[in-house]
Amino acid sequence: MERTMKINHLPAYTYGWLHLNNADLTVKDAPVPADLKVEVPVHVVANESARIAVPTGAGDALTDYLKDVPVLSYDVLAGSIPAKPLRIRTDYAKDAQAGNVISLHLNAGTSLVAVMDLTSEATGFAALQTLFELEEDSHLTLVQILRPGEQFTLVNDIGGRVKDRADVHIIHVMLGGKEVYQGCRVNLEGRHSDLKTDIGYRLQGESKLDMNYYAYHTGKKTSCEIQADGVLADHAKKVFRGTIDFINGCAGSVGDEREDVLLLSDDVVNQTIPLILCAEEDVEGNHGATIGRLDEDALFYAESRGMDEASVIEMMASARIDAVIKKIPDETTRTLLLPKEDDHD
Amino acid sequence: MATEDKTYVEDIDRSLYDFRFENKDAYKVDEGLTPEIVKTISDEKKDPAWMREFRLHSLDIYNQTQMPDWGPSIEGLNMNNIVTYVRPNTKMHADWEEVPEEIKDTFEKLGIPQAERESLAGVGAQFDSELVYHNVKEEVAAQGIIYTDLESALHGPYADMIHDHFMKLVPPTDHKFAALHGAVWSGGSFVYVPPGVSVEIPLQSYFRLNAPGAGQFEHTLIIVDEGAYLHFIEGCSAPKYNVANLHAGCVELFVGKNATLRYSTIENWSKNMYNLNTKRARVEEGGKVEWVSGSFGSHVSYLYPMSVLAGKGSRSEFTSVTFAGKGQNLDTGCKVVHNAPQTSSVVNTRSISKSGGISTFRSSVVVTKNAPESKSAVSCQSLMLDTISRSDTIPAMDIRTSKADIGHEARIGRISDDAIFYLMSRGIAEDDARAMIVSGFADNVGKELPLEYAIEMNNLIRLEMKGAIG
């Protein structure tokens, strides 16, 4: 039965007329788990375990929607560092109504690179929720490539908990889709725990991307760095919510948030709301945003070297996304996404 | 040296503003908000028919409009307990000597007559719901400048101008308290500056709310015609009571082609005040609005002056400081709408929180498709002075043209230990060093105000920062 839920809530609401406080997501039926192709590296064990109880970026409504979906859990064995990534990929079927929940647990001192590549046929709906818990001194790199079809709606949601001296690096590459909803909340609970995100998106046509990144600092001397770089063309619409929340007691914490958006059409809609919520004196929080057209000096310089304007714009737009892709610590994935050298001929 | 000790910051000494008298002869309507009360106010004001209808329509809108689902809690505000109209037992005068002694004494203590003599071109003084004094210097009036109370303007030669502009920028449908204002507004000033006229020294309106449990709903309407210049200063204060008071004023500014209007406010309401004020400017081609704002008082504030850049090349500047102390939740900021080509806006704010106070910077910058080649730069900085306070930054940007350059930066933090150490190494006591740093932090506003007002603002900061090493 079709229903509409509110997801991607801003942690502190603002003027209603901006329509930024949350997003409406309409689902038709109960979710059916999609067939995921998983490559499990040595030292990682797939098991059945309960859902990690941690809030997510999309919020409780999505969690409730996925509550009956079986959880696929992966545990990194204590004292081990898998040599290869945990790879999860799926190509959602036409008219899918899919839902999956993945749980990652890193024992103390372990490390894991998890790469998820989500593609789809033209139409359908899918929701993927990734939950993680990082024990002391563990390190997770979570790479998610979202490449849904042009009439496909995709919800990619993350919720995680990070303990003492553990860190998570999230890399998101988002390309296309009719509607993509990205939720991400990380609770930095442990002393010296750390979150880093590198987000790259390129939207064109009628694509719509709605993001909600939330760093929740409770541990002392925690840090987060949220970096988003994107390109909007044609009639694309993007909402970026980014929140650094310093809870009383997280003394010595720092947070930094940057967004850089290149607008290539007068028909795009770019909405950005970067929040710093602060109930602790001994912290440093910064955010900055640069939104607009291509720098005229850069354009002039490239044109003076013989490039036409369209080629310059394409080069600059690709460079933003490529810079994020190059941060992926997995050559297979980088090779998949980066243009071949021959492509430049 | 006890380097880990924190500075103890005393609550502000408000004796300068916290005086009152029992105005037994004042006329009041009943508490609450009913059509009968609105009709009574309309009768009292001798409204023209359209205004009476406007008030009743606004009341309908008020009753149909929800409370905001964002911002500080206003649960402590019960409209059933608010007296929406209090008329002091005097008419409006143009000579301080004719103002009743106690009311005149109130404004003397606030320094208004002295300021008028020394540095202002004209003054309006409102006491509760009515203006008790309004005057403009002869040489200023001779330039064709109109500065009068709004009620007089409603019945005089400018009646049509009022009809054409009143609550056109801030319609009653804007939000619940704009509707409330439309229903029960009283007092406030009307200013018209003719084309090409530059008012060299500022005009000032001062709003004093004396009655406990009352609301003040003054309306300020300013029209600065083509090529003209005006600096208008707004001041406000009230004594503290144990019951909630409400301020839901409205300011509408029309800035003509190539005109400039600077609107400065030092807001120092008492800490039982709910300050739900709405300010908005429309700026035509080549025009400029400059907002300079210092927010120090109130229990709860919702205050976001808005600039609608409607003409090509129009500009806005917003400069503010907000200081939230014990028992205060001050939600302040601004809104800018770029709706014409080559418009530009600059936002530069500072927020300070101490003693459990909450300060929130909230803003929106909207650039529509009609505004190619527009630019906006927003900078907001927040300072936390202890671990029991709170400071939030909630800026939004909505950009709908590719040919725009939008920059935003925000920073939140505490006073640098290195800066304190440096000043102390030069022989300055720690609490003095902190006060010095906070004053410097708020200097973005201080340097934009006339000297007398900059001094008042610095006095407020000094009082807020007065403390001792604990």
Q: How confident is the model at residue B6, as a pLDDT?
A: 39
Judged by phi (left if over 0) then psi (alpha if -120 to 50, else beta), residue A137 lies in left
What percent of chain B has a predicted confidence (pLDDT) above 70? 91
Mean pLDDT of B444-458: 71
Task: Specify the residue for token string 């507004």.
Answer: B185
Plot region of B144 (φ>0 → left; ψ -120 to 50 → alpha; else → beta): left
Residue A5 has pLDDT above 90, yes or no: yes
| Whether pLDDT at B3 is above 80 | no
Q: Across the interface, do A274 and B395 touch by the CB < 8 Å criterion? A: yes
A132 — pLDDT class (breaks 50, 70, 90): very high
Q: How far apart are the first and last CA of chain A?
A: 51
Question: Which residue out of A260, A291, A293, A294 would a mutagenesis test of the B interface target, given it has the greatest number of B Cβ atoms within 10 Å?
Answer: A291
Q: How many CA atoms, within 13 angstroms, populate the side-chain half-sphere of residue A198?
A: 16
Tell me the mean pLDDT in the region B248-258: 97
A148 vs B: CB within 8 A: no
List residues bridging with B288 in a β-sheet. B260, B315
Q: What band does B434 get if pLDDT is binned at 50, 70 and 90? A: confident
Q: What are phi and psi of B126, to 5 degrees?
A: -110, 135
* pLDDT attached to residue A51: 87
Picking from B108, B103, B95, the residue whose alpha carbon sits closest to that of residue B136 is B95
For residue B358, the Cα-to-chain-centroid distance in whole angstroms is: 18
How far is residue B83's CA from residue A299's CA, in Å, rounded to a whole number?
62
- Residue A264's identity, in one-letter code, is L
Q: Count how many domains chain B has.
A: 1
Any domain includes B140:
yes
Does position A344 have pLDDT exceeding 60, yes or no?
A: no
Point out which residues pair with A63 in neighbouring strands. none
Query: Do the chains contact at B413 and A292, CB–CB below 8 Å?
Result: no
Q: Residue B18: which pLDDT band, with cuts at 50, 70 and 90? A: low
To the nearest 10°, the Cα dihedral for B431, B433, B439, B443?
Answer: -170
pLDDT band at A21 (very low <50, low <70, confident <90, very high): very high
Q: Tens digits of per-residue pLDDT, A207-254?
A: 999 999 999 999 999 999 999 999 999 999 999 999 999 999 999 999
Q: Are A209 and A180 contacting, i.e. CB atoms less than 8 angstroms apart?
A: yes
Q: Does A282 touch chain B (CB under 8 A)?
A: yes
Q: Is B78 on the interface with A (CB under 8 A)?
A: no
Residue B181 located in a structural domain = yes
**In this predicted structure, what is the pLDDT of residue B470?**
23
Q: Which residue of B has its CA nearest to A248?
A: B387
Say if B385 is an interface residue toward chain A (CB within 8 Å). Answer: yes
Packing angle, helices B417-425 and B430-441, rounded to 10: 120
Query: CB distance A291–B391 less than 8 Å?
Result: no
Residues in chain B within 8 Å Cβ distance of A270: 397-400
> Once rounded to an integer, what is the mean pLDDT over residues A172-195?
97
Burial environment of residue A70 by CB neighbours within 10 A (0 to 12, 13 to 18, 19 or more): exposed
Q: Return the domain boundaries, chain A.
A: 3-295
Give the residue among B146, B97, B128 at the shortest CA–CA distance from B23: B128
Name which of A81-95, B92-106, B396-410 the model is least confident about: B92-106
Which residue type is seen at B37?
I
What's the sign of the alpha-carbon dihedral A146, A148, A151, A152? negative
Does residue B15 register a pLDDT over 70?
Answer: no
Share of chain B above pLDDT 90, in %: 56
Return the amino acid letter for A112. L
* Cβ–Cβ contact A298 with B under 8 A: no
Chain B touched by A284 (CB under 8 Å): yes
pLDDT digits (tens, 9 = 90+) for A99-113: 999 999 999 999 999
Buried b (16+ CB within 10 A) or exposed e, B240-258: bbeebbbbbbbbbbbbbbb
Mutation target for A interface from B402, B414, B417: give the one with most A CBs within 10 A.
B402
Kindly provide the b/e burial profile for residues B4-33, where b requires at least 16 CB atoms within 10 angstroms of the residue's own CB: eeebebeebebebbeebeebeebebbeeeb
- Judged against a pLDDT cut of 80, whether residue B341 lies above it is answered with yes
Q: What SS3 state is found at B169?
A: coil
Residues from chain B contacting residue A14 (CB–CB below 8 Å): 70, 362, 364, 394, 396
Residues of A in contact with B68 (CB under 8 A): 16
DSSP state of A51: P
Residue among A273, A308, A177 nearest B393 (CA): A273
Query: Is residue B2, in this structure, part of any structural domain at all?
Result: no
Name which of B302, B344, B345, B346 is nearest B322 in CA terms: B302
Tell whether the model's pLDDT for residue A345 goes beyond 50.
no
Mutation choice for A interface testing from B170, B386, B412, B420 by most A CBs within 10 A: B412
Mean pLDDT of B263-275: 89
pLDDT range class, residue B464, cuts 50, 70, 90? low
Instruction: Identify the weakest region by mean pLDDT among A164-168, B141-145, B169-173.
Output: B141-145
Which residue segment(s) compose the domain that B18 sits in?
Answer: 13-412
- What's the burial of A309, exposed, middle or buried (CB within 10 Å: 0-12/13-18/19+)? exposed
Mean pLDDT in chain B?
Answer: 87
Average pLDDT of the residues in A183-204: 97
Q: Is B187 helix (H, G, I), strand (E, B) or coil?
A: coil
B446 within 8 A of B457, measured Cβ to Cβ: yes
Q: Token pair 């007068």 is at which residue?
A: A266
Q: Degrees (nearest 5) of the Cα angle B330, B336, B337?
A: 145
pLDDT > 80? residue A52: yes
In this prediction, residues A120-131 reach a mean pLDDT of: 93
**Spatial separation of the C-alpha atoms in residues B305 and B264, rounded to whole Å:** 11
B5 close to A (CB below 8 A): no
Cross-chain residue pair B387–A248, CB shorter than 8 Å:
yes
pLDDT in tens, B310-336: 999 999 999 999 999 999 999 999 999
The answer to whether residue B2 scores a pLDDT higher than 60 is no
Q: What is the pTM of this model?
A: 0.91
